[in-house]
Amino acid sequence: MKKTHSIPLIFLGLGNIGGTLLRQILETRETVAERAGLRLIPVAVADVSGLLYAADGLPEATLHAALAATQGGGTLAALPDLHPLAYLPTVLQPGAILADLTASPKTTPTLRAALDAGCSVALANKIPLAGPWAEARPFLSHPRLRYEVTVGAGLPVIETLHYLRDTGDRVTAIEGCVSGTLGYLCAELERGVLYSQAVAQARARGYTEPDPRDDLSGKDVARKALILARTAGWPLEEGDLTVEPLYTAALAGLAVADFMAATTALDADYAARVAAAQAAGRVLRYVARVTPEGGTVGLTAVERDGALGALRGPANYIAVHTTRYDALPLALAGPGAGREVTAAGVLGDIIKLAHTGQTA
């Protein structure tokens, strides 16, 4: 029988991705033990309200109570034996793996402390990797940090870029569609749905953040583009990217309800852009493109029959141009969103980090 190694896990955030990851770990414990030789043991779960901790592993009843409490946007606040967040540094220990499953800009000091304490880190949070280069560089180059799901959800985009560079290839350009939300919006516009209706539908279905401008601004795509560029070896900054938001400056400062009501003012403009693209045999897609010199993020008319034009719904497509993959790029395509595939990608990073720790 394969020997199993116990790996303590620390969760930062138990929202959509964190909750799904915890459920996957509980459901796949025996499979992971048998196939990977690992016993993944959640010892700490933290959110903005505090920290649950048990050195030998949180009881399963406590974990299920935490999942129930945080479902639908709740917090751990009402659970018994909750420690203040200030207790978190005492939980960090060599050999543990911390998973940042938040979308918070405030976790960076904790990530640094975890790595300094000998922990490994699995990131779903893009923000620490997309800030100023001087602050992001130590994370991007750290051997005990993985961040596969920050671009393309479960697609092996980051691992592919590392493979290309490790084998001596040189990346020259990366382009693609990396937002499931904006992919849905473009597909609806192509179908003839008005911009205001498409945005309202996307929000009603939970495809956007509560304020759709968080998606429509293009900032999330820009972060992904920066992560791709930096992984390719280009130390680009946010200012090196030109980003096109999918709303006008006049709508930027409105309350959410007012913004939703005002989107009808953009219907004619976007309908005209769709018609112009169609007249040229093209369709609109929200495309990110980066090179060593910089990049662009915005709405682009692409060939209807091309790889980007064929995308539907939340699918992502990323093409990597290199000195070896020159005439025809290396391409990855598949679901670019979804709790299950994203959480599974984090679980894959955890398993790889655990194995690296055993052989380090």
Q: Say if CB 12 and CB 102 are below 8 A apart.
A: yes
pLDDT surpasses 60 at 321: yes
Residue 354's pLDDT is 96
Q: Are strands 145-146 and 120-123 parallel, antiparallel or unpaired?
A: parallel
Closest Cα partner for 353 from 40, 144, 157? 144
283: left (phi over 0), alpha (psi -120 to 50) or beta: beta
Residue 315's pLDDT is 86
Closest Cα partner for 86 from 105, 63, 60, 113? 113
Using one digit for the tens of pLDDT, what is the confidence trace for 261-312? 999 999 999 999 999 999 999 999 999 999 999 999 999 999 999 999 998 8
Average pLDDT over residues 112-134: 97
CATH 3.40.50.300 at 171-335, yes or no: no
pLDDT surpasses 70 at 175: yes
> Which residues have CB under 8 Å from 62's CB, separation 6+?
52, 54, 79
Q: Residue 72 has which token pair? A: 């639908």
pLDDT surpasses 70 at 38: yes
Pairwise CA distance, residues 202 & 216, whole Å:
11
Please spell the DSSP secondary structure of 237-284, one letter per residue: -GGGEEE--SS-GGGTTS-HHHHHHHGGGGHHHHHHHHHHHHHTTEEE
Q: Is 313 or 8 the better-scoring residue by pLDDT?
A: 8
Q: Provide φ and ψ at 93, rounded to 5°.
A: -150, 150
pLDDT surpasses 60 at 358: no
> Which residues have CB under 8 Å from 353's CB, separation 6+?
97, 120, 121, 122, 144, 146
pLDDT band per the 50, 70, 90 thresholds, residue 72: confident
Residue 359's pLDDT is 41
Q: Give the number of other Cβ atoms within 10 Å of residue 24's Cβ.
A: 18
Name the DSSP letter for residue 83. B
Average pLDDT over residues 187-211: 91
Location of each CATH 3.30.360.10 domain in the chain: 171-335
pLDDT band per the 50, 70, 90 thresholds, residue 208: confident
Residue 350's pLDDT is 97
Strands ordered across the beta sheet of 97-100: 50-53, 38-47, 5-12, 97-100, 120-123, 145-146
Decide: residue 28, CB within 10 A, 0-12 exposed, 13-18 middle, 19+ buried.
middle
Pairwise CA distance, residues 171 & 189, whole Å:
33
Average pLDDT over residues 310-337: 91
Using one digit for the tens of pLDDT, what is the confidence trace for 234-262? 999 999 999 999 999 999 999 999 999 99
Q: What percent of the chain has pLDDT over 70?
A: 99
Q: Say if CB 117 and CB 92 are below 8 A apart.
A: yes
Does 126 qualify as catalytic in the annotation? no
pLDDT surpasses 60 at 360: no
> Which residues have CB under 8 Å from 299's CB, separation 6+?
186, 244, 246, 273, 284, 285, 286, 287
pLDDT surpasses 70 at 146: yes
Residue 357's pLDDT is 73
Q: Provide φ and ψ at 98, rounded to 5°.
A: -100, 130
Residue 35's pLDDT is 93
Average pLDDT over residues 42-70: 97
Location of each CATH 3.40.50.720 domain in the chain: 5-153+340-359
User: Out of 3, 126, 219, 224, which one is annotated catalytic?
Assistant: 224
pTM: 0.94
pLDDT band per the 50, 70, 90 thresholds, residue 2: low
Tell me the C-alpha to C-alpha distance, in Å, between residue 331 and each of 32, 106, 345: 29, 34, 19
Pairwise CA distance, residues 246 & 355, whole Å:
43
Topology of the domain covering 5-153+340-359:
Rossmann fold (3.40.50)
